[in-house]
Amino acid sequence: MNYGFVKVAAAVPSVRVGDPKFNVEQIESLIIQANNQGVEIIVFPELSITAYSCGDLFFQQLLLDEAEMALINLMNFTRSMNIISVIGVPVQFGGGLVNCAAVMQKGKLLGLVPKTFIPNYKEFYERRWFQSAADLEDGNVLICGQQVLVSARQLFKTPSCTFGIEICEDLWAPIPPSSTLALKGAEVILNLSADTDAAGKYEYMSGLVRQQSARLLAGYVYASCGFGESTQDVVFSGKTLIVENGELLKEGPRHSMEEIMTISEIDVERLRAERRRNTTFSANAALMCDCPMRIVETASMIQDTIELTREVNPHPFLPAEGADRDERCEEIFTIQCDGLAKRIVHTNCETVVVGISGGLDSTLALLVCAKTFDRLGKSRRGIIGITMPGFGTTDRTYTNAIRLMQQLGITIREISIKEACLQHFRDIGHDPEQHDVTYENSQARERTQILMDAANQMNGLVVGTGDLSELALGWATYNGDHMSMYGVNGSVPKTLVKHLVRWIAMHIGDQTTCNTLLDIIDTPISPELIPADNEGNIRQKTEDLVGPYELHDFFLYHMLRSGYHPRKLFMLAKRAFKGKFEDEVIKHWLTTFCRRFFSQQFKRSCLPDGPKVGSISLSPRGDWRMPSDASAEMWLAECKAL
């Protein structure tokens, strides 16, 4: 099973200018390496059979004849291979010469794709030798003993994906050919390039590739000329990139004096899911009906299994390491504050009320309130922090709750829920020694009642603290902590909550507050609804009951963002968490995730308002609309079969 992936390679052979025989030998070496590694499609640079920088040698018939002979030899070499090879070659057509990508598989030319935009400025003067596809009518050419179509309007369909081709300058056009190719069905774009080097150009070019990939919701494979090209006036550094929906999967070394081959796997299943979700893409595609495409079917080449070489991020919700991490954390935090600020201004409320437990979620919500009040020019005394000790409250969480509120300078109220809950147990005839779901949820609902009524007292707004991960698992008491007047953490998953609190601790506030925040981060996650153990430690640990949040956040991201099957979630999780979680542990919690995700939808169907901060939200008014009584049978059956 290939799980919807297609393994691709961008290769840069060493070349000699004007020596097709030598060049094809280098290409053959890379093809055999790629084939042995299970690559399905390999792309080489522009004019790689002759070298790009031949200049007026392109007028020499001997060079063109030798290029065709080299192509024949390459076809014979690949006759017994399933791999699709895409190679740059000059082709005599229409009374002139065209710069083409030759698509080859199993000893046969499947098509020739000519370059559309021919640069003729600065160091480029390709129009001296080559015609544009835009100036030619599509037609067949006799080459290598075959009649082969020469057309820029071709798509190549494999069992794994549909791909299209553009060449170098095509990408730099205001409307690249790849835009049309993608709208007509191409899921992967191949670019054969001869990009010259200049200071700062690589960053611009790689950004262009990522942006085009993101705009097209497509994979993009880029291979550009390298060592061996003429350096008479310019230098070619050998650039290779493999990108998926704007995300760089792999890039090769530049300025190498050796051949380069960059391999990764493009998740075509993910791309298809993104296109199904993005109605703008399909609406744009509908406008392309007047642009016919020829579909070329390739031979079957799907392998029974695929060995992934790409990294699988175990924490997809977390900002990537690097210089941009602080900026991304600040952006998320600011979005939360912006949302709350608008709601405060709109409702003209005088205060906000937050239940403070000394745990992660309420800590982040309180930090959002403090920053929002600062931005609005309001006194933090208008933030009413209410700590509500119950039967399971420990000294550690209680102390941290009080300390944090003191350090942030807010108004503190302490209201014990014990007597109210005991009275409630008497009212409904519940034994307080029976620590079941009634015992737990009564406490959660009592706390919510206090918050709501206190907000009424003080013309306030109850700020919710529950996070995205809890909503996904339904780990919230219906009409208890599930409810608020504005939920600032509603689209922030638990792994990101912890990360944001740590970032705030390191970047905002004094050392004393930082120490409190770090201790809160290190405290086990718990609703504290069951009495502590004999030593006063937390006995009810959430992750012991519902599973590790980093696993659940991983499942949540990939199931909602890409619509993956449980079997693919399992495969990816095994790779992402190798050495940390055993396969049976992953399977167990994946089953738990699927069961709870379906059974707890009714809680998500009536969520309070809250800001969306990232790519996923479970708001019924936002990303996720699901019937509360949908069946989980298919998902659970697949989990069982793993």
What are the residue numbers of the active site?
46, 115, 168
Tokens 């057509």 correspond to what residue?
A: 93
Residue 185, classified by CB atoms within 10 Å of its CB into exposed (0-12), middle (13-18) or buried (19+), is middle
Which residue, 510, 597, 584, is CA-closest to 546? 597
Distance, CA of 150 to CA of 110 (rounded, Å): 10
Taking the C-alpha atoms of residue 266 and residue 190, their distance in angstroms, rounded to an integer, is 12
Residue 478 burial class via C-beta count within 10 angstroms: exposed 0-12, middle 13-18, buried 19 and up: middle
From residue 517, give the alpha-carbon distance in Å to each of 150, 172, 364, 393. Answer: 65, 48, 10, 18
Residue 613 main-chain phi, psi, to 5 deg: -110, -15
Q: Tokens 């007028």 map to which residue?
A: 59
Angle subtended by helix axes 494-507 and 360-376, to nearest 10: 50
Of 344, 296, 49, 264, the C-alpha closest to 181 is: 296
d(CA 25, CA 8): 21
Looking at the DSSP bridge assignments, the partners of residue 92 are 97
- Cβ–Cβ < 8 Å for 15, 225: yes
The token pair that represents 420 in the structure block: 């109210």
Contacts of 101 (CB under 8 A, 6+ apart): 86, 87, 88, 89, 112, 113, 165, 167, 190, 192
Q: Which residues contact 429 (CB under 8 A, 6 or more apart)?
A: none
Placement of tokens 């369909």 in the chain: 157
- Specify which residues 355 forms β-bridges with: 386
Question: From CA 546, how far away is CA 526, in angstroms rounded?
Answer: 11
User: Contact at 8 Å (CB) between 111 and 154?
Assistant: yes
Element (H, E) at 412: strand 411-414
Give the whole-angstrom CA distance, residue 96 versus residue 64: 12
Percent composition of the chain: helix, strand, coil (DSSP 3-state, to 5): 45, 20, 40
What are the φ and ψ backbone dihedral angles of 139, each rounded to 5 degrees?
A: -175, 170
Alpha-carbon distances of 450 from 374, 381, 388, 404, 460, rounded to whole Å = 26, 19, 9, 21, 12
C-alpha to C-alpha distance for 554 and 534, rounded to whole angstroms:
35
Asked whether 268 and 219 are in contact (CB, 8 A), the reply is yes
Give the whole-angstrom CA distance, residue 391 versus residue 443.
9
Question: CA 109, CA 72: separation in Å to the nearest integer?
Answer: 10
Chain position carrying tokens 């006036």:
233
Q: Answer whether 154's CB lies under 8 Å from 177's CB.
A: no
